[in-house]
Amino acid sequence: MSDSQIRHLPFGTLVPAMVTPFTSGGEVDYKQAALLANKLIDGGCDGILVTGTTGETSTLTDEENLGMFQAVLDAVGGRAKVIAGTGTNDTRHSVSLSRRAAALGVDGLLIVTPYYNKPSQAGIQAHFEAIADATELPIMLYDIPGRAGVPIATETIIKLAGHPRIVALKDAKADFTATSRVLAKTDLDVYSGDDGLTLPLMAAGAVGLVSVSAHVAPGRFRALVDAAAAGDFVTARRIHFELDPVIRATMGHVQGAVAVKQILKWQGILSNSVVRLPLVEPDEAEIAMIKADLAEAGMEL
């Protein structure tokens, strides 16, 4: 991938799904959010996804979501793409939140499959199209059937790719065959939504990664994405193996936001590891497993 191609990607290539920091009392800490966003960009990320799954969006109010969008825009706007997670399982609510995010000046929107309702594929298509019609912003579809309860079927993705503002896909389906067909049949910019599948998906033509683990090792993920984009798969494979224990630490034992906040606290980047119920902080056994994985990766804390 050439430098000019990378520059024209509307979402960047290494995009952490940023955690939402809280105060010790459980309120959104916008100051820490701004500091974290800057730290991630300084570490090599070129986009920030604000209030996605790892940002605990499902337990934030609309005003907290919008406050996070504004805090990150103020912190890194112009230095990196700022993508707002505005998808919910209610189409009208998603349209409203997307319009309000657009008015703030975000660069694009991440829209998750409507969860819990279990709509048909026709309903899923209509949901995404209604949101895409509501603003002028580029849209990244977010396919994560393990959380949403239903997949975006390959044929539905291919149809949605015909919409002028639906330009990207965050693939967290873990179905390489299905994603290969999307890559072959559409012009969508496909992003790995599973840190451990970044290398094979980029080898097949994906453009980058929307990441949980990049919070704690942004430089190594930057090197992985750059090597894969350049077709240097010897280097990319080496980094992939080096990052395996980091990915296990952040995603293998507890929910991603829980692990990342704990590690960022150990790294001195966040002042606490507070999450909102129903999430809880890791127990002693989980902490021991996370630390063991980080030690394997040479990240003694």
Active-site residue set: 142, 170
Instruction: Give the separation between CA 152 and CA 119, rounded to whole angstroms.
Output: 10
Q: Outline where 83-139 has alpha helix (H).
A: 91-104, 121-132
Instruction: Give the separation between CA 135 and CA 101, rounded to whole angstroms.
Output: 10
Helix (H) or strand (E) holding 156: helix 154-160
Torsion angle in degrees (nearest 10) through CA of 191, 194, 198, 203:
-70
Closest CA to 207 of 4, 3, 9, 7: 9
Instruction: Give the separation between CA 193 and CA 248, rounded to whole angstroms.
Output: 15
Instruction: Give the separation between CA 184 and CA 251, rounded to whole angstroms.
Output: 29
Instruction: Give the separation between CA 220 and CA 51, rounded to whole angstroms.
Output: 23
Instruction: Give the separation between CA 146 and CA 144, rounded to whole angstroms.
Output: 6
Beta strands in the chain (DSSP E): 14-18, 47-50, 81-85, 108-112, 139-143, 166-171, 189-192, 208-211
Instruction: Give the separation between CA 17 and CA 47, rounded to whole angstroms.
Output: 9
